[in-house]
Chains A and B, each alone.
Chain A
Amino acid sequence: MSRDLPQISPLGDNAILVQFEQIISEKLLDKVLFYRNLIQQLYVEQKVEVINTYNSILINYFVAIEDVYSDVKAIKEVFQQHNNTKILESSVFEIPVCYDLEFGIDLELIAKEKNLQISEIISLHTQPEYRVYFMGFLPGFLYLGGLDKKLQISRKSQPRMKIEKGAVGIGENQTGIYPKVSPGGWQIIGNCPINFFNKNTQIPAQISAGDYIKFKSIDRTEYDCVKQQVEQGKFQLNKQKRNG
């Protein structure tokens, strides 16, 4: 029986785009990551990067693709040869967040609009293991899935010009952490003292697509303590293996 191949087509002179169905799901992400890793193996000796988003794989070349026909063919063969996708190993990272009102500048507004106690908001936000789909938007910004429906709230009608580094926010069905100061429209509920991106290390981010994160509520004293450790380069993220 023939299976549906994803769409595989060049994106300009330097890239090939693989597109799966137009949905966001963990099951699709597992499939995307499985094939992303197989495609990476085609290119171990070339200057080519293979990245994923929710439902796409991008094969990005340093210089113009020499023989796009044969490369597209090789990618098609990967899909034809591997039917059973395996779920890759991943880790859960514990991410400390201080939900004090000093940081969580929109907590009171959300509590009112959603008819929740602030403590309930914190507990709903720290409950799930959020899946990391990919990084984009800003260096070190994680696209996360798994926000509780009760916390879904529309973005600010007027985006703020400046959101602090580490701000934890909610926008529609998404939650995330601003890795650096930037403008933004999300509702802000707390602040995370750790760095998600470090340009001075060889691998600038520890968390990768496919991993999970779990928020842990910390008080102001612990926040300052973690922040100090981060600044001194002593902070270690708490990380656990997770299978399937």
Chain B
Amino acid sequence: MGEMKVLQPGLFSSIQDYGRFGNMEFGVPASGVMDRYAARTANLMLRNDANHAVLEITMMGPKLEFTAVTKIVISGAYLSPKLNNEEVENNTILEVAKGDILSFGRRIIGCRAYLAISGGFTTEEILGSKSWYDGISKHEKLQKAMAISYKEDLATKIKTNAILKFDEDYLKTDKVEVYEGAEFKFLSETQKEHLRNAIFSIDQNNNRMAIQLQEQLQNDLKPIITGPVVPGTVQLTPSGKLIVLMRDCQTTGGYPRVLQLSDKGIGTIAQKLTNEKVKFCFKKSL
């Protein structure tokens, strides 16, 4: 067994897979990687399953030491990764030897990077998922001196998955793909036009649970009878705030659901920083 030792924790990193599926009926948030595209790409390059557990790294990366031979791929945000102080690339397989140290430097683009490891991290699974979530898993985020387990991988031959190319356009665009939400039809034409055309800025209240937007939308809709919400649901609060629910969101809510982000849209907005701009780009759902 190998361990990834945390020398420095960085800002906020957590183990995530595709989430705690099948527990919504008990009110358990799904959790899981914020940007599935990047996590999947990193995993598939290593010939892992798309939903194998990865380390989700937010803005400022940790400093990690590996205790056994393995291979890793970093994808998503570019946070200037270094292996033993030498700059390395995102989206390529990196061979890691015993004692190697992975660190990160300046953030260049995006908000969240994904570190996938051959075979996936072998940390504890609770209710069908390895995803960390406060109150369900033992840990919420990476802390100094933690050790994250993985299986040693001695295979020397690396079969690169040549077809896999990481398309980083979504890290640069301000266009967030959305569908009309369940209560969109109750909005006035002015409100609808506003959602279609306005540019919104990411509020400082943004985390794995929800991303709030700074600009408000004048609101006269009544609250709804508490109903299901899922990651990507955009709620409109009585004060006119737009809240984009993310992977750690509750399972139900009582605010009108005006928009619904596509999977791609969730990945796009997950990579935005406070004050960055977004524009909703409507897609037909059926």
Would you give the 0/1 interface string for A12-39, flagging 1 where the beta carbon is closer than 8 Å to chain B? Answer: 1111010100111000000000000000
| Whole-angstrom distance between the Cβ of B18 and the nearest chain A Cβ | 7
| Whole-angstrom distance between the Cβ of A23 and the nearest chain B Cβ | 8
> Would you call A234 an interface residue if the criterion is a C-beta within 8 Å of the partner chain's C-beta atoms?
no
> Would you call A85 an interface residue if the criterion is a C-beta within 8 Å of the partner chain's C-beta atoms?
no
> Would you call B99 an interface residue if the criterion is a C-beta within 8 Å of the partner chain's C-beta atoms?
no
The answer to whether B179 touches A10, judged by C-beta atoms less than 8 angstroms apart, is yes
> Would you call B127 an interface residue if the criterion is a C-beta within 8 Å of the partner chain's C-beta atoms?
yes
| Whole-angstrom distance between the Cβ of A67 and the nearest chain B Cβ | 11
Residues of chain B within 8 A (CB-CB) of A200 are 126
| Residues of A within 8 A of B (CB-CB), count | 44
Of the stretches B19-27, B70-78, B156-164, B201-209, the one at the interface is B19-27
The answer to whether B227 touches A54, judged by C-beta atoms less than 8 angstroms apart, is yes
**Measured CA separation A135–B29 after assembly (Å):** 12
> A residues within 8 Å of B by Cβ?
9-15, 17, 19, 22-24, 47, 49, 51, 53-56, 58, 60, 62-64, 68-69, 72, 134-141, 143, 180, 197, 199-200, 204-205, 208-209
The answer to whether A53 touches B227, judged by C-beta atoms less than 8 angstroms apart, is yes
**Measured CA separation A200–B128 after assembly (Å):** 11
Please give me the 6 A-B residue pairs with the lowest Cβ-Cβ distance, nearest first.
A136-B252, A58-B228, A135-B27, A12-B260, A13-B263, A139-B28
B252-286 at interface with A (beta carbon < 8 Å): 252, 257, 260-263, 285-286
| Residues of B within 8 A of A (CB-CB), count | 34
**Measured CA separation A12–B229 after assembly (Å):** 10
The answer to whether B182 touches A53, judged by C-beta atoms less than 8 angstroms apart, is no
| Whole-angstrom distance between the Cβ of A213 and the nearest chain B Cβ | 16
**Measured CA separation A200–B233 after assembly (Å):** 29
> Would you call B1 an interface residue if the criterion is a C-beta within 8 Å of the partner chain's C-beta atoms?
no
> Would you call B120 an interface residue if the criterion is a C-beta within 8 Å of the partner chain's C-beta atoms?
no
Residues of chain B within 8 A (CB-CB) of A23 are 225
> B residues within 8 Å of A by Cβ?
18, 21-28, 126-127, 135-136, 179, 181-182, 224-228, 230, 232-233, 250-252, 257, 260-263, 285-286
Residues of chain B within 8 A (CB-CB) of A22 are 224-225
The answer to whether B24 touches A51, judged by C-beta atoms less than 8 angstroms apart, is yes
The answer to whether A53 touches B228, judged by C-beta atoms less than 8 angstroms apart, is yes
The answer to whether B228 touches A141, judged by C-beta atoms less than 8 angstroms apart, is no
User: Chain B: which residue is nearest A143 at the CB level?
Assistant: B226
The answer to whether A56 touches B28, judged by C-beta atoms less than 8 angstroms apart, is no
The answer to whether A56 touches B179, judged by C-beta atoms less than 8 angstroms apart, is no
Residues of chain B within 8 A (CB-CB) of A199 are 126-127, 136
The answer to whether B24 touches A58, judged by C-beta atoms less than 8 angstroms apart, is yes
| Whole-angstrom distance between the Cβ of B249 and the nearest chain A Cβ | 11
The answer to whether B286 touches A13, judged by C-beta atoms less than 8 angstroms apart, is no
The answer to whether B22 touches A49, judged by C-beta atoms less than 8 angstroms apart, is yes
